[in-house]
Structure 1
Amino acid sequence: MRTRGLLLVCLAGVVWGTIGPAVQVVHDRSGLSPFTIGAYRAAAAVLVLVVAAVGVGRLRECLDEGLRHWRRITAAGLFTAGFQLLFFVAVLWAGVSVGTMVCLGFAPVLLLVLGSVQRRRPPSASQVSTVVLAVTGLLLVSLAGGAHIEAPHPALGLLAAVGSGTCYALSTETSAPLSRRLDTLTMTTTTTLVVGAALIPAGLIVGHAHLVTADVTSWLLIGYLGAVTLALGYALLFTGLRTTPSGAAVVATLLEPVTAVLIAVVFLGERLTVAGVVGALMIGVAIGSLGRKQEPAPQ
């Protein structure tokens, strides 16, 4: 069961790896800002999950269960919204490579420290080596993925990336115990409702100058971003978190930048560098070590 959970988290990382290329295509074709795209993505996810809950006759049950755990649901949703919003800011102000590296690299390190504080003992050598291997691989993949552009606000972008990584780590840590109490549909629906309540107004306010497009492909991709990368992606994550510790899950989702780089190479004409290959292999080895020796998920 633990291996299955880890595989589901890995699959979530692969699904999330399609976000960057899809957002890039939508932005290029429609001119919509990433914030506006994020707002529509959240709206599409909410619609899909509500329709699914209504379809199986469980919407009222999902909402009632969400209300019973409203504090943790709200925290998980707000941390998730903060992660996504700050990540967009980091990418815009510091560049894709720096934003990705700092955000996704900071999260497993933070969870390693938090776990040690909670257990009141230092992390094991295997835990440290796994995180170091994964973060080093992420650095190589991030440097290999994408053109080097001038960062308009590097210092603020770096702070946004740290904030995004912090929200990512805390959203995973907050969601893990709740995922073992609630079923996947309830957990995903109620959390996404909070995400939508935060991201939809913010995205539409920031992108108020340009909110619509006549490009059908862009709307189809936005639907994909909501239904697959948000609704399905987090359903996979929440299901996997039932048997996968949050720290291991954060490392496993580092397949996201690996997938994004591969898509850019295959479909967007970018070159795959030696550093990118080595980094991807290092992340793969780190995830493999999680599969061989996982810590028990806390109850």
Structure 2
Amino acid sequence: MGAVMPQATPTGSARIGLLQVCAAGVLWGTGGVVVTLLHERDGLSAMTVSAWRMLLGAAALVAFAVAARRLRAVGETMRAHPVLAVLVGCGTAVYQGLYFVSVLLVGVSVATVVSLGLAPILAAVWEHLTARTRPSLREVVVLAAALCGLVLISATASEGSSAPGDDPTLGLVLAVAAGATYAATTVLGHTLAQRVDTVALTTCATAAGAVVLAPFLGVAVATGGPVLTGSGSSLALLIYLGVATMGLSYALLYAGLRTTSGSAATVATLVEPLSAALVAALVLGERLAWPALVGGALILAAVVGLHRREERPAPA
């Protein structure tokens, strides 16, 4: 029998969980730059790239499950929780689609603030309603700081961007729907992460999301748009997008959700726009203005203030 590893303390488990969720947000933040590069170099649409992202992420996760001998756990997860696993995957795919379309209609700043800002509010309201509790002063301050930081970063990122599309009202509605979908998916993911293996959950959910987005590749073919690139560097970016910003990042998210509540996770993932701003400054040469720096500091301060409210250790 192997040595028994000591169980992490509740505080240590919560801190590790938040770090895992933050790491997922950092990876997601690099995705926007990759999508921009693929669009500029190869003309790939956002939905085409999203479909490849989910498909490649699912393929990488299945390969890992086979290599790690976790394929049986994947099958057990689908048999035990088929509805929840599919809902989490479909929610992930739908959120991406709603967000990308809202960006085209209402602009990056509004879409980001509404969708990412609404998610932690809805998640927190749901958790307090189901538990019949009231938010503490710490929770209110943490959420307010995170949302202020999000607004500052998003407003800075929108400077110099193109004007919104012809139907900003529809774009706003889609952004609200994206935020609600993101919050619901995170809460469902938190519920399922307590019951099943992390790799199995990530594999099942990503595969379900890939099925939802795969038809967009057919749409690209039917409309004569580019579906794939022959450039080696662009293929490498696509693989990175699928493996790192889909497979690995969602594995980190679901692992973190084992010890982190859904509402706290939606706040912690607000490091995504901060990560995106930093990567854009380094890779695309975009200027990082002082409001973005202040916003980043507020988001980081909010994340630091989260771990004290997380209540339970990782399940044995």
Would you say 1:14 and 2:26 are equivalent positions? yes
- Note the C-alpha offset of 1:272: 1.1
1:206 CA displacement? 5.2
Instruction: Tell whether 2:193 aligns with 1:205.
Output: no
- Structure 1 range deviating more: 212-221 or 19-28: 212-221
Amino acid at match of 2:163: E
- Identical pairs, percent: 39
Q: How does 1:74-93 map to 2 (within 5 A)?
A: 74-93=86-105
Greater mean alpha carbon deviation, residues 195-204 or residues 219-228: 195-204
Cα deviation digits, residues 191-213 of structure 1 (max 9, x gap) = 11111111111354256422233
Residue 292 (str. 1) matches residue 308 (str. 2): yes
State the partner residue of 1:177: 191
Q: In structure 2, give the amino acid aligned to 1:228.
A: A
Per-residue CA shift, 1:118-176, capped at 9, x if unaligned?
Answer: 12233222111111111111000101124332101211111111111111111110011
After TM superposition, give the deviation of residue 30 of structure 1 in Å: 0.4
Q: 2:291 aligned with 1:268, yes or no?
A: no
The equivalent of 2:136 in structure 1 is 124
1:106-185 matches, within 5 Å, as 106-146=118-158, 147-152=160-165, 153-185=167-199
- CA pair 228-158 structure 1, distance change in 2 beyond 3 A: same
Kindly provide the amino acid, as one letter, of the partner of residue 293 in structure 1: R
Residues 91 and 99, structure 1, Cα contact 8 Å, conserved in 2: yes
Query: Which of the residues 219, 233, 242 maps onto 2:249?
Result: 233
Gaps of 5+ in 2: 1-12
Q: Specify the SS of the correspondent of 1:123.
A: coil
How many correspondences in the alignment? 299
Cα distance in 2 for partners of 1:15, 1:78 equals: 20
- Report the TM-score, using the length of structure 2 for normalisation: 0.90
Question: Could you say what secondary structure the match of 2:305 adopts?
Answer: helix
Contact 1:177–1:298, Cα closer than 8 Å, also in 2: no
CA RMSD of aligned residues (A): 1.7
Match of 1:259 in 2: 275
SS in 2 for 1:269: coil
The separation in 1 between residues aligned to 2:217 and 2:257, in whole angstroms, is: 29
Alignment check: 8 A CA contact 2:120 2:263 kept:
yes
1:166-190 CA distance string (max 9 Å, x none): 1111111001121121111101111
C-alpha distance in structure 1 between counterparts of 2:135 and 2:277, whole Å: 31
Matched, 1:34 2:46: yes
2:10 is aligned to: none
Equivalent in 243, 262, 277 of residue 246 of structure 1: 262
Q: Which runs of 5+ in 1 are unaligned?
A: none
TM normalised by structure 1 equals: 0.95
Instruction: Tell me: CA distance 1:293–1:87, structure 2 relative to 1, closer, same or farther (3 Å).
Output: same
Q: Which shifted more, 226-235 or 124-133?
A: 124-133
2: CA distance between counterparts of 1:297 and 1:166?
A: 28
Does the 8 Å CA contact 1:36/1:207 hold for their aligned counterparts? no
Provide the C-alpha distance between the structure 1 equivalents of 2:314 and 2:142, rounded to a whole number of angstroms. 20
The 8 Å contact of residues 35 and 206 in structure 1, kept in 2 or not, is answered as no
**Higher mean displacement: 144-153 or 22-31:** 144-153
| In structure 2, distance between residues paired with 1:207 and 1:4 | 44
Task: Give, in whole Å, the separation in 2 of the partners of 1:298 and 1:64.
Answer: 21
| Structure-1 residue corresponding to 2:207 | 193
Q: Is the 8 A contact 2:33 2:276 kept in 1?
A: yes
